[in-house]
């Protein structure tokens, strides 16, 4: 989708007109024909300027007006970046029904941030996860495809255009992340994921390190190797580095389970087919790395993605095994479905001991318990550093990617001690507070690094979609972390 800029309407083109409540059309901006039509519609109350109301499509007799969609933005004093993003998605969805590939949108004045958010909403709202249709279904989709959007407003300065461009970059890479999360595990297997990371590194000239299975064995990364035992594809720990500043690195770690069958503790079949989502953390890290260079982010950022399947096989790791992790700490396996923490523990220890990090932030679809607690909109946020938590909470507010700070208590930490080994991968008391207990387990591997853990099991694969989402991979976390890095 290309975005163009203009300061004048063209009533022959399929056009969306957006106005705040109580505003009237403007002759200079809307042109005479459209101006009269809009103001008549307002007068006769066929144009309702309340927020999110998409009012009418018309072919107006005796004028050049072809297809017009009138939409309200509500009260100007309530307008915000969030509203701009949300309502832009509404516009694009309504515009799809116009069967037009080239759409004009006439906007009331927007601030720079609102312009960025609005652009994000248009591109995110246009996302379609059905990438594998053929024949008639595909043809129908092609017919409704919007190829060009012309944004029309009073004035286009350099700054305004730059913000639209920025919103475009960000949204395209959120959509990229959604595609990775939504990809079927046969189409995006371990090897394909490695190739994807490698190509991002090459394109953006990032340093790329692939710790493949042989190297994992040499380094004694026992956690990820245990989880990988049942898989037909060997595991990888991938490392991307963007050296945008001379400083200690901010390390981003993403859980990359290509498919989580549960392993020997096999998951029930009801929703197992969704478990290709379990690499959403790693996909988010790749989405962020797609943007660091494009947005010229002057920070030193290292991304780590441990990648494997959690498969069931005669060679799979079993409950009751004791695994020696990269840290040297031993872990009793009480449930092979608690595999995320077993691959993250090696990545966290690597980050905290080999990299001298400024901060570590890991992102993982780690626990169903986090969804039980918070649902699909909020991620769980855990950590050991108040200042880092505050910064992430601020970015969550800025980007409307919400999260809730949850505790790691002494009781949680005690519950993760092993009977015969240092730790257990499942609580030794009961199964409540599952997301705090998982976080308490991870805490053993960060040493004294400033660390935050984002459990995005709910929002990364949503069933409560926002206006600019569909019920599937959301790309949650990309906008959040980009905002965090920009405001650091």
Active-site residues, by number, are 267, 341
Could you tell me which of 41, 81, 97 has the C-alpha nearest to residue 65? 41
- In 3-state terms the chain splits into helix, strand, coil percentages (rounded to 5) of 40, 20, 40
Q: Is 368 in the site for ligand BES (CB under 6 A)?
A: yes
* Residue nearest ligand BES, CB atom distance: 368
Only one of the segments 208-216, 228-236, 335-343, 463-471 lies at the binding site for ligand BES (rule: CB under 6 A); that segment is 335-343
Only one of the segments 68-76, 131-139, 260-268, 322-330 lies at the binding site for Mn ion (rule: CB under 5 A); that segment is 260-268
Q: Give me the residues paired with residue 454 across strands.
A: 363, 381
Tell me if 437 sits within 8 A of 427, measured CB to CB.
yes
Q: Give me the residues paired with residue 465 across strands.
A: none
Tell me if 460 sits within 8 A of 368, measured CB to CB.
no
Letter string b/e over residues 33-66, b meaning 16 or more CB atoms within 10 A of that residue's CB: bbbbbbbebbeeeebbbebeebbebbebeeeebb
Only one of the segments 47-55, 215-223, 333-341, 385-393 lies at the binding site for ligand BES (rule: CB under 6 A); that segment is 333-341
Q: Is 337 in the site for Mn ion (CB under 5 A)?
A: yes
HSE at residue 382, side-chain half, CA atoms within 13 A, is 27
Nearer to Mn ion, 339 or 469 (CB): 339
| Min CB(339)–Mn ion separation in Å | 5
- Partner from Zn ion, Mn ion, ligand BES, none contacting 368, C-beta within 5 to 8 A by type: ligand BES
- φ, ψ (nearest 5 deg) of residue 210: -115, 105
- Which residues have CB under 8 Å from 230's CB, separation 6+? 263, 309, 310, 311, 312, 313, 315, 316, 317
For 111, 407, 409, 422, the CA distances from 415, given in Å and listed in that order, are 50, 14, 10, 12
Q: Write out the binding residues for ligand BES, residues 435-474 only, by CB under 6 A.
A: 457
Q: Write out the binding residues for ligand BES, residues 397-426 only, by CB under 6 A.
A: 426
| Min CB(337)–Zn ion separation in Å | 7
Contact pick of 86, 189, 241, 260 for Mn ion (by CB under 5 A): 260
Pattern of binders to Zn ion over 230-259, x per CB under 5 A? Answer: ---------------------------x--
- Partner from Mn ion, Zn ion, ligand BES, none contacting 369, C-beta within 5 to 8 A by type: ligand BES
What dihedral angle (degrees, nearest 10) is formed by the CA atoms of 128, 129, 134, 135? -30
Only one of the segments 143-151, 197-205, 243-251, 258-266 lies at the binding site for Mn ion (rule: CB under 5 A); that segment is 258-266
Nearer to ligand BES, 181 or 225 (CB): 181
Q: Output the six-digit token pair for 71.
A: 């939409």
Letter string b/e over residues 247-273, b meaning 16 or more CB atoms within 10 A of that residue's CB: eebbbbbbbbbbbbbbbbbebeeeeee
Nearer to ligand BES, 17 or 342 (CB): 342
| Min CB(240)–Zn ion separation in Å | 22
Q: Write out the binding residues for ligand BES, residues 202-261 only, by CB under 6 A.
A: 260
Nearer to ligand BES, 229 or 367 (CB): 367
Nearer to Zn ion, 401 or 455 (CB): 455
Contact pick of 86, 189, 332, 339 for ligand BES (by CB under 6 A): 339
* Residue nearest Mn ion, CB atom distance: 337
For 270, 304, 384, 443, the CA distances from 447, given in Å and listed in that order, are 38, 17, 10, 8
Q: Write out the binding residues for Zn ion, residues 330-349 only, by CB under 5 A.
A: 340
Judged by CB under 5 A, the number of residues near Zn ion is 4
Q: Give me the residues paired with residue 69 across strands.
A: 16, 57
Q: Is 340 in the site for ligand BES (CB under 6 A)?
A: yes
- Partner from Mn ion, Zn ion, ligand BES, none contacting 385, C-beta within 5 to 8 A by type: none
- Partner from Zn ion, Mn ion, ligand BES, none contacting 400, C-beta within 5 to 8 A by type: none
Q: Is 260 in the site for Zn ion (CB under 5 A)?
A: yes
Nearer to Mn ion, 107 or 257 (CB): 257
Nearer to ligand BES, 167 or 340 (CB): 340
Tell me if 420 sits within 8 A of 322, measured CB to CB.
yes
Q: Is 455 in the site for Zn ion (CB under 5 A)?
A: no
Q: Is 475 in the site for Zn ion (CB under 5 A)?
A: no
Q: Give me the residues paired with residue 236 across strands.
A: 307
Q: Is 309 in the site for ligand BES (CB under 6 A)?
A: no
Residue 18 parent element (H or E):
strand 15-19
Q: Write out the binding residues for Zn ion, residues 278-317 only, by CB under 5 A.
A: 278
Only one of the segments 66-74, 148-156, 199-207, 271-279 lies at the binding site for Zn ion (rule: CB under 5 A); that segment is 271-279
Could you tell me which of 40, 49, 150, 134 has the C-alpha nearest to residue 95? 150
Sign of the dihedral defined by the CA atoms of residues 279, 452, 199, 161, in that order: positive
Q: Are strands 379-383 and 451-455 parallel, antiparallel or unpaired?
A: antiparallel
Q: Output the six-digit token pair for 300.
A: 């030193």
Residues of the shown chain interacting with Zn ion in the complex, contacts defined by CB under 5 A: 257, 260, 278, 340
Residues of the shown chain interacting with ligand BES in the complex, contacts defined by CB under 6 A: 260, 277-278, 335, 337-340, 365, 367-369, 426, 434, 457
Residues of the shown chain interacting with Mn ion in the complex, contacts defined by CB under 5 A: 260, 337, 339
């Amino acid at each position: 989708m290309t975005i163009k800029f203009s300061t004048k309407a063209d009533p022959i083109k399929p056009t969306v007109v957006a106005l705040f409540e109580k505003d009237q059309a403007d002759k200079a901006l809307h042109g005479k024909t459209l101006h009269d039509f809009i103001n008549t519609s307002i007068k006769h109350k066929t144009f309702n300027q309340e927020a999110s109301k998409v009012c009418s499509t018309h072919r107006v007799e005796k004028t050049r007006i072809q297809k017009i969609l009138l939409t309200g933005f509500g009260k100007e004093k309530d307008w915000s970046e969030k509203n701009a993003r949300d309502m832009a998605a509404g516009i694009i969805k309504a515009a799809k029904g116009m069967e037009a590939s080239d759409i004009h949108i006439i906007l009331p004045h927007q601030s720079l941030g609102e312009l960025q958010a609005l652009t994000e909403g248009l591109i995110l709202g246009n996302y379609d996860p059905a990438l594998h249709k053929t024949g008639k279904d595909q043809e129908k989709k092609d017919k409704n495809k919007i190829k060009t959007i012309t944004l029309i407003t009073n004035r286009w300065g350099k700054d305004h255009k730059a913000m639209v461009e920025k919103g475009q970059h960000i949204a395209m890479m959120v959509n990229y992340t959604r595609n990775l999360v939504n990809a079927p595990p046969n189409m995006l297997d371990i090897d394909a994921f490695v190739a994807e990371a490698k190509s991002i590194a090459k394109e953006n000239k990032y340093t790329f390190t692939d710790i493949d299975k042989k190297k994992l064995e040499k380094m004694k990364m026992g956690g990820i190797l245990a989880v990988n035992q049942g898989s037909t594809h060997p595991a990888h720990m991938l490392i991307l580095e963007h050296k945008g500043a001379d400083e200690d690195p901010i390390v981003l770690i993403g859980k990359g389970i290509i498919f989580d069958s549960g392993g020997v503790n096999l998951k029930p079949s009801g929703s197992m087919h969704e478990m290709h989502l379990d690499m959403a953390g790693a996909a988010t890290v790749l989405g962020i790395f797609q943007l660091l260079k494009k947005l010229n982010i002057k920070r030193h950022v290292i991304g780590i993605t441990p990648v494997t399947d959690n498969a069931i096989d005669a060679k799979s790791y079993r409950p009751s095994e004791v695994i020696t992790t990269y840290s040297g700490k031993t872990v009793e396996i009480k449930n092979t479905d608690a595999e995320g923490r077993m691959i993250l523990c090696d990545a966290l220890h690597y980050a905290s001991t080999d990299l001298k990090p400024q901060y570590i932030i890991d992102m993982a679809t780690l626990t169903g318990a986090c969804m039980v607690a918070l649902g699909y909109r909020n991620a769980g946020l855990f950590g050991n550093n108040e200042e880092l938590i505050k910064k992430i909470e601020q970015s969550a507010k800025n980007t409307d990617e919400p999260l809730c700070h949850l505790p790691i208590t002494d009781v949680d930490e005690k519950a993760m001690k092993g009977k015969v080994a240092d730790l257990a991968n499942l609580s030794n008391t009961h199964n409540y507070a599952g997301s705090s207990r998982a976080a308490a387990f991870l805490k053993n591997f960060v040493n004294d690094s400033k660390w935050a853990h984002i459990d995005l099991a709910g929002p990364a694969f949503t069933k409560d979609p926002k206006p600019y989402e569909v019920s599937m991979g959301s790309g949650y976390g990309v906008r959040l972390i980009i905002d965090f890095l920009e405001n650091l």
